[in-house]
Structure formats: C-alpha cells, structure tokens
Amino acid sequence: MDKTHEKFMRIAIKLSLTNIDKNGGPFGAVIVKDGVIIARGVNRVTASNDPTAHAEVEAIRKASKKLNSFNLSGCDIYTSCEPCPMCLSAIYWAHIDRVFFGNTKDDAKAIGFDDSFIYDELALPLKKRKVRVRQLLRDEAIAGFKKWENFEGKIEY
C-alpha cells in the first residue's frame, strides 16, 4: 500500500479517536485533492443534533465550500469506517473518485452502529417499508420536472 494513502488514513483514524472526547461518534474523514487535505470531518450527530452530520458528509460540505463546487471530481476520501448508505450516496453525488476506509460496516455493527436495516429496507417494495411512504399528487408534482427539463439556465449535476 502506498505510504501516502496510509498517511491520510491515519489522519482519518486519529480524527475518529479524538472525536470521542468531544462528544462525537468514533468516525473521522478527510478529503484529499492533488495530495493535499482540503477538508476534514468528524461525526457530529449527537453534538449538533443533526442525524446527517456524519464524518463523510461533514467533510463533503467543507470540501464543497472550499472548492466552491458541488462536484468533487479529482478528490479522494479517507474515512475511518466503511461509509453508511447515506454517506456513500453523498460520495456518489459529490463525484468523489475513490474511497479508502478502515473499519468495515460489520465492525461498526458490532459496537452498535448497525446500518443493515437500511440496506434491508431499501430492498423492500414501498408498501412493506417500516417508514410509511405514500405517493401524492404526482400529476401536479411533475410540473416541476417538466419546467426543469425545459429550463435553459439549469446547471446539471
């Protein structure tokens, strides 16, 4: 393994360790572009009362702000744990090139951070999910998509 990758992973791991003492979960992440860390993130879910404040999402938010772009192509993310479904989705939406992780989702599950129910839920039909999902007013809602489709000033992502 390349020593540079190990260096960035060790920084993500150190963030996960120090975050525990700051009322956060044991997760840390760094985003790197051209060999330079452009953003760091730690789990701030309980500290901020924000269920989306995972380390990877926090790092993506900071990197996007720093680069003034929602497109993080050319960046890598190093995270102390395999990304959860939300974080992995955010990584895809951000167009991050590569993900390097330390702990696995099974390691996280073993200490109480179990995301397997989300993977299970996503595989179910809408009517069988635990969170009730119901489609309403599609005929009216589609107007926004039609307007977007014809909008000349759109910025696609």
Residues labelled catalytic: 56
Beta pairing class for 36-42 and 28-33: antiparallel
**Taking CA 41 as the corner, what is the angle to CA 20 and CA 46, rounded to the nearest 5 degrees?**
45
Report the distance separating Cα 120 and Cα 135, nearest Å. 21
> What angle, rounded to 10 degrees, do the helices at 116-123 and 85-94 form?
70
